Amino acid sequence: MSTTATTTSTTRPGPLPSLRMRVLRHVRSPLVWTWLLGTVFMMALANHFTQSAFDRALLDDAYAIASHLRADDEGEVALQLTDSELKAALFDQAEYVYYAVYRSDGSQLAGEPLPLLPWDESEPVSYRETLYNGQLVRAVALRSAVGEQQLSIVMMHTTRVRDSLIQHLFLYAAIPQLTLLVLLLWWLHHRIGQDMAPLAALQRSLSRRDAQDLAPIPPSAPATTREIEQLRQTTNALLARIADNVEAQREFAGNVAHEVRTPLAGIKALADYGLGHADPAVQQQQLQRISDSVARASHLVDQLLLLALSDEASAVQLAPVAAAEQVQQAVLRHWDAASRARIDLGAEGLDTAEAEQLRIAADANLLAAMLDNLILNALRYGGQSVTVALQAADDGGSVELAVIDDGPGMSEEQCQAAMQRWQQGPSGQSLGQGAGLGLAIVAKLAHLQQARFQLAPRSEGPGLRASLVFSAVQNRAPGEP
């Protein structure tokens, strides 16, 4: 029995190019293509004008031959040039020049036996390129009438000088342009590197930074572009948010360690005391006290978690919330606790049709937590009556949710102090309950929802009025569910 092992190799991507090289690549390609197209266009233009100049010289030679064609008295046409005059007229130091004169019937009148080419008879002058004696030549055919005869003067000229001139034009024009292109690419590479220097400095600063260092990144070099400076500022903003979150976590951990240690120690002491007594009545009493302590510790942990959530959140998503429904549900959640404590818990402002249509801009879950904190405080430290009131402003721009009790109340200064963390009013200090976080949590959550939280003595009689003022949103249309 044989076992075949298959090795799967994962192809790793190669190293990514640097931003400088990517930018230079994007710039280099258009520049090279521009140089190539410019060179091709320049060569085509140079070839056109060079060809035109040589064609004009070739045509002048044809006209010179045509000007010496004469007809005698009998109508016979002859070339009135001696051999020496013909050589002087067609002399060229670097090229070979050939000529021929043909009658209309194709017979040759003078010159060399040049091949007959397919000329355009409708044009007085025609140009062609062809091979003659193994060489590339440029030919021109000139139609001319001498007497009553139609003649064709054909001139052929080799193209060595023309080709050499075009090559020199290419070298003298393309090579300097290529040199300028290389210098331009080098300059771009240097300038792009200078512009990217702050980005590289930012990268080095972040790579050398310790994980615990959340201080802002200072500008190591003058910013060359707005985008790089914005990147540094955005990174600093992110570091600031991370530092705030880390600080909130440290504070939360410290709060938990500080506040939970005491109830846990009390629970252990109660359990040890109950275990040390054989009397069932004492054990039952201690179990009840342990249950109460666990409930208080659980409430404290919930408060600490809610406080940590409010510290970490920078904004919440607000949506239309039915204010009357939230008040009604909050009262129902605490109805049993109020009944056991023989406290009259009720609501006001919910029985009208207008109240059912009220909508506020809030987060439903956070609003429920705020109402729970205010109602629990009122049940714990208030008197014998707690009322949750719902009221809209006269202009319809805001809605107030207020928790009102008839307890001993507090002064204006004590109300302001009670909204700070770890601060309790006189009733809380005397009862020894709570941690002084509830009102601070409500104030923080109200700020997150762009609402106002106010704690003040009642205007009529003893007690406190804790009110939440939210912005009202468009009411629903009649008949809308």
**Given this model, what pLDDT does residue 134 score?**
86
Task: Specify the range with the lowest mean pLDDT, choosing from 86-100, 270-284, 287-301, 368-382.
Answer: 287-301
Is the full-model pTM beyond 0.75? no
User: Pick the residue with more confidence: 196 or 434?
Assistant: 196
Same domain membership, residue 368 and residue 295 = no
Same domain membership, residue 72 and residue 92 = yes
Same domain membership, residue 245 and residue 120 = no
- Domain ends where: 166, 201, 236? 166
Same domain membership, residue 358 and residue 274 = no
Residue pLDDT, tens place only, 26-75: 888 888 888 888 888 888 888 888 888 888 888 888 888 888 888 877 77
Same domain membership, residue 358 and residue 334 = yes
Same domain membership, residue 54 and residue 133 = yes
In a domain, 301, yes or no: yes
In a domain, 203, yes or no: no
Cα(270)–Cα(288) distance, integer angstroms: 10
Whether residue 166 contacts residue 28, with contact meaning beta carbons closer than 8 Å, is answered with no
Same domain membership, residue 355 and residue 283 = no
Same domain membership, residue 235 and residue 255 = yes
**Given this model, what pLDDT does residue 403 score?**
92
**Given this model, what pLDDT does residue 478 score?**
42
- Domain ends where: 285, 311, 337? 311
**Given this model, what pLDDT does residue 152 score?**
86
> What is the average pLDDT value for the chain, to the nearest integer?
78
In a domain, 480, yes or no: no
Write out the residue range of the structural domain in which residue 286 sits: 227-311
**Given this model, what pLDDT does residue 320 score?**
92
**Given this model, what pLDDT does residue 302 score?**
65
Structure confidence at residue 313 as a pLDDT band (50, 70, 90): low
Same domain membership, residue 345 and residue 266 = no
Q: What CATH number does residue 126 fall under?
A: 3.30.450
Look up residue 216 and give its two tokens: 């802002």
Most confident of 87-91, 155-159, 208-212: 155-159
- Domain ends where: 311, 331, 361? 311
Listed residue (377, 446, 371, 366) closest to 415, CA to CA: 377
Same domain membership, residue 465 and residue 325 = yes
**Given this model, what pLDDT does residue 481 score?**
45
Most confident of 68-82, 150-164, 431-445: 150-164
Same domain membership, residue 68 and residue 50 = yes
Same domain membership, residue 457 and residue 345 = yes
Look up residue 467 and give its two tokens: 């009110």
Residue pLDDT, tens place only, 395-430: 888 999 999 998 887 877 878 877 776 555 555 444
**β-pairing verdict for 385-392 and 398-405:** antiparallel
In a domain, 219, yes or no: no
In a domain, 199, yes or no: no
Cα(108)–Cα(101) distance, integer angstroms: 6
Look at phi and psi of residue 297 and say left if phi exceeds 0, alpha if psi is from -120 to 50, else beta: alpha
Structure confidence at residue 228 as a pLDDT band (50, 70, 90): confident
Number of domains in the chain: 3
Structure confidence at residue 432 as a pLDDT band (50, 70, 90): very low
In a domain, 271, yes or no: yes
Neighbours of 48 (CB within 10 A): 10
In a domain, 185, yes or no: no
**β-pairing verdict for 344-348 and 385-392:** parallel
Listed residue (286, 393, 280, 299) closest to 337, CA to CA: 299
Q: What CATH number does residue 341 fall under?
A: 3.30.565.10
In a domain, 367, yes or no: yes
Cα(263)–Cα(270) distance, integer angstroms: 10
pLDDT at 454 over 80: yes
Percent of residues, the chain, with pLDDT higher than 90: 5
**Given this model, what pLDDT does residue 400 score?**
92
